[in-house]
Amino acid sequence: MAVRRAVVLLSGGMDSALTAALAVAEGFDVHALTLDYGQRHSVEVARAARVAAAVGVTEHRVMAIDLAALGGSSLTDSGLAVPRDRDEAAIGTGIPSTYVPARNTVFLSLALAWAETLGARDLFIGANVLDYSGYPDCRPEFLAAFQATARLATRAGVEGAPLTVRAPLMRMTKAEIVRRAAELGLDLGLTLSCYDPAAGGRPCGRCDACRIRARGFAEAGLADPALDRSPGI
């Protein structure tokens, strides 16, 4: 039986962790790619390594790129404040300062290049359009456009082995993501969602990502295991 290779973008957050677990469960030979891009929550890189080990990926690579040099986001510019204590209506309105310009375009391009060298025909990303984030590069229209570009811009695509971009969580609510992770036995306590954690990775509990995560667990009727662990675990 032919090996089905896939590249999975793995950030260390709960969405990408579940995406990787789903790819493994589907029988893919998973190669996980984590980008250390100058994010203020760089502790997520270590979390990604733990998730990769836990779900059983074939290979996990960390690539350093400097998106902080470009600025324009409160995730990469320490001079910009990460939004805190916003209610659901505010979180769901507009594009927040935590949007990193063209981040998913850059990430997917790097994942595409690796996929082509591996002979992988599937690229997984944990994009989700229902998590209130408002990020334009998490929409299905963007992923469809990137897939079309990948088929035009690569040797694999031109020679009849086009790559498919998969976003299995695209229309799942956070509560559904929490429940599916529980069904798979995925320990979400390994993951980090916080945009501005304290030293060691303790989540702030106040940024948009923390609030969205908390609501997901509450609606799923489950406790967040990350809140019961010491920093750095």
pLDDT tens digits for range 86-125: 998 888 889 999 999 999 999 999 999 999 999 999 999 9
Q: Are 186 and 178 in contact (CB under 8 A)?
A: no
Q: Would residue 179 count as lying in a domain? A: no
Measuring CA to CA, which residue among 171, 117, 118 is closest to residue 143?
171
Q: Give the other-Cβ count within 10 Å of 89's Cβ.
A: 8
Q: What is the pLDDT of residue 228?
A: 73
Number of domains in the chain: 1
Q: Which residues pair with 181 in a beta bridge?
A: none
Is there a domain that residue 67 lies in? yes
Question: Does residue 218 sit within a domain?
Answer: no
Q: What pLDDT is recorded for position 28?
A: 98
Q: Is residue 232 part of a domain?
A: no
198 within some domain: no
Q: Provide the pLDDT for residue 132.
A: 64
Separation of alpha carbons 3 and 229, rounded Å: 38
Domain containing 163 equals 5-173
Each residue of 38-62: pLDDT tens digit?
A: 999 999 999 999 999 999 999 999 9
Place of tokens 């995406």: 19
Look over the chain and give the mean of its residue pLDDT values, rounded to a whole number.
94
Span 211-229, average pLDDT: 92
Residue 189 lies inside a defined structural domain of this protein:
no
More confident residue, 132 or 99: 99
Q: 221 in a domain, yes or no?
A: no
CATH of the domain at 145: 3.40.50.620
